[in-house]
Amino acid sequence: MKIILKWILSLSITSCLLSYGGTNVYAQDKKKNNEISTVYEDRKNENVDERIVQESANRGMQEAEELKYQQWLKSTNNFPKTKSAGPYWKGSSSKRYFYDANGKQFGLGTSKKVIDVSKHQGVIDWNAVKSSNQVDGAIVRLGYGWYSNQYDEQAARNIKELNRLGIPYGVYLFSYAQNANDAKKEADFFASLIKKYNVKNTYPIYYDIESWEYKSDGKTVKSPSSVSTYEQIISSFMTQMKNKGYSTKVYSYRAYLQKQLKSPSILKHVDWIAAYTDTLGYTNSYNQTNSIGWQYTSSGSIPGIKTRVDISAFAINPNPLVTYQAHLQNRGWISSVNDGITAGTTGQSLQLEGIKIILNSGLSGNIEYSAHVQDIGWQPWVKNGQLSGTTGKNKRIEAIKIKLTGDISKDYDVYYRVHSQKYGWLGWTKNGSIAGTIGECYRAEAIQVMLVGKGLPISGNISNSVYYKQPLVSYRTHIQDIGDSYYVSDGVISGTTGKALRIENVRIDISKLISQSGYNGNISYSSHIQDRGWLDYVKNNCISGTYGKALQLEAVKVELTGEVANYYDIYYRMHIQSKGWTGWAKNNAMCGSTGLILRGEAIEIKILPKNAEAPGSVSNTFYKK
């Protein structure tokens, strides 16, 4: 009884409330404890004492979970389902808005009403939940700790039902980690459950970090108390989850974020906060996500769920990640905007002349940008609120490149697009690629900039972000009985088809790409020649092949080098004797044939933005004996 009393008194009211809700969950029943030994059957060679310690820790976590669950059950009658005053919702199921008790809207725009559930809620009637139109999604507990029997007994059913009904959901794991090694094991366990249960989440994956305590081998084991330990735990968990292919965020409650988790390296992952108070009362300036979640009650009531349940509001993060300001023709500097809002004008024929871009002060790293300006060309890179472009010179910006550097580049991509004279809104591009026009003398009129979680997709067009006046690649071949061909460019045929004439050498030139893009770099290519084999690589506009030797060119390899290779792919295909056109090869892959004595008769070459769709079939690019 004293042990139980000590446990109860050790919890703050905030922590207790969290323990009562669906976020903290209970262990398996006493009957399950008799099965613990099965967890260790594959560890027969381990030291017996170590196995006993692990069994005791496993049992201790389970008993702590059970105790919290029993507390939650007993407290059900002591907490009202609703309050006379407090945070509240407005709007309809298709457009909800959430407000704190003082009438301040939460987040930007509409909010999602999301429940989080575990075995606490028993067998949920998900059909009733969906038909009620009272929630927009759910976050499901899959388990806790790292032992194989520490899964949530309702997780499999909950995930199956959510998949069946198409209800959006995320998942979480409650942590009992004391150190980085424990956290790594928790990540392995969590990832295995995600795979086992066929999780198809559209909401995030969360690591639930809270205070805990349990008995192991007669000793009390407590959650870490130092920020540095939690930095190691969360870094280890995040790294291992990333290695498993999952991006993870952190959930905790306000008091814990203000003390044990008070570190920029932790807080940048936190976008879901529990605070059962009239206002959230906390601003996370390090939040590097576009969203923010407030778990505002553990006493919610939803049709289809027999118990009370945690409810959260999720909205667009009101703290801007990126802020930018435009200088316009005849207007000067206009008001700053944030996160994807238009800076500039459309339909007014006003040129964009200057721009300044800054990151949220809580973000670690830099945002750098370079403008292509009328009569000047590409300007040097500037950063963090410095001017790119001009003022007072009546010179238009025509294109721009923006990139992130430092720590923030590990967590985010920067996307941007330009509204251009003649073309209107161009497609979105990212991370230092070009947005706008080059060489066409068209003004940029407006710009949008936003940060997106690393590797995450965005809605909207991502093609045709830039237009060039000059060709990106030019090339010519030396043709049997004809001699040197004229230069052609950007996918036009150089050589012949249907005439049984060999090509003997090739020249490839990307000097106009380098001058237009402002990137440094070069092109390198090699040809496979009859009786000679592969020749050494040559650089821009040099001859690869032979002159006057009557030797056929049979295959090529072509690649971009330097900075330009980070932003473009080079594609090429050959027309070869008896085979016809090969598929499109790219980036130094072999194209043509070797060992078959088949002449190359023609070649086509294209340069496309990095990772753009191939210009055609990519199969059967190379034949060999």
DSSP 518-576: ----EEEEEEEETTTEEPPPB-TT--EE-SSS---EEEEEEEEESGGGGTEEEEEEEEE
Residue 156 sits in the same domain as residue 194: yes
The domain boundary residue, chosen from 422, 450, 468: 468
Q: What confidence score (pLDDT) does residue 218 get?
A: 84
Work out the widest C-alpha separation in the chain, in whole angstroms. Answer: 101
Please return the burial class of 81, using the count of CB atoms within 10 Å of its CB with bins 0-12, 13-18 and 19+.
exposed
The domain boundary residue, chosen from 316, 341, 369: 316
Q: At what angle are helices 48-75 and 13-20 packed, to 10 degrees?
A: 90
Confidence band of 62 (pLDDT split at 50, 70, 90): confident
Residue 133 sits in the same domain as residue 90: yes
Q: Assign 3-class secondary structure to 563-606.
A: HHHHCEEEEEEEEECCCEECCCEECCCCEEEECCCCCEEEEEEE
Over the stretch 266-316, which tens digit does the pLDDT of each residue have? 998 999 999 999 999 998 877 767 789 999 999 999 999 999 999 999 997
Over the stretch 347-363, which tens digit does the pLDDT of each residue have? 999 999 999 999 976 66
Residue 99: both structure tokens together: 């407000």
DSSP secondary structure, 130-174, as one string: HHHT--SEEEEEEEESSSTT-B-TTHHHHHHHHHHHT--EEEEEE
For residue 570, count other CB atoms closer than 10 A to its CB. Answer: 24
The residue with tokens 């002449």 is 599
Residue 447 sits in the same domain as residue 478: no
The distance from CA 21 to its chain's CA centroid, rounded to whole angstroms, is 30
Cβ atoms of 611 and 566 within 8 Å: the answer is no
| Rounded Cα gap, residues 148 and 190, in angstroms | 10
251: closest CA among 198, 199, 174, 305? Answer: 174
Residue 257 sits in the same domain as residue 132: yes
For residue 372, report the phi and psi dihedrals to the nearest 5 degrees.
Answer: -95, 115
Average pLDDT over residues 407-429: 93
State the DSSP H helix or E strand holding residue 230, giving kind and residue range, or none if neither: helix 227-243
* CATH number of the domain to which 98 belongs: 3.20.20.80
Residue 131 sits in the same domain as residue 261: yes
Confidence band of 33 (pLDDT split at 50, 70, 90): very low
Residue 501 sits in the same domain as residue 522: yes
State the DSSP H helix or E strand holding residue 476, giving kind and residue range, or none if neither: strand 474-479
Average pLDDT over residues 488-499: 97
Q: What confidence score (pLDDT) does residue 143 get?
A: 96
Residue 418 sits in the same domain as residue 384: yes
pLDDT higher than 90, residue 460: no
Confidence band of 53 (pLDDT split at 50, 70, 90): low
| Rounded Cα gap, residues 151 and 169, in angstroms | 18
Residue 125 sits in the same domain as residue 236: yes
The range of the structural domain enclosing residue 376 comes to: 322-468
The distance from CA 404 to its chain's CA centroid, rounded to whole angstroms, is 14
Residue 513 sits in the same domain as residue 551: yes
The residue with tokens 């909010």 is 111
Domain count, the chain: 3
| Rounded Cα gap, residues 488 and 483, in angstroms | 15
The pTM of this model reads 0.59
- Residue 224 has, within 13 A of its CA and on its CB side, a CA count of 21
| Rounded Cα gap, residues 504 and 600, in angstroms | 8
The residues that bridge with 600 in the sheet, in sequence order, are 576
Q: What confidence score (pLDDT) does residue 8 get?
A: 31
Residue 187 sits in the same domain as residue 75: yes
227: closest CA among 185, 269, 257, 186? Answer: 257
Residue 162 sits in the same domain as residue 261: yes
Residue 404 sits in the same domain as residue 457: yes
Over the stretch 111-153, which tens digit does the pLDDT of each residue have? 999 999 999 999 999 999 999 999 999 999 999 999 999 999 9
The domain boundary residue, chosen from 316, 334, 361: 316
The residue with tokens 């905790």 is 252
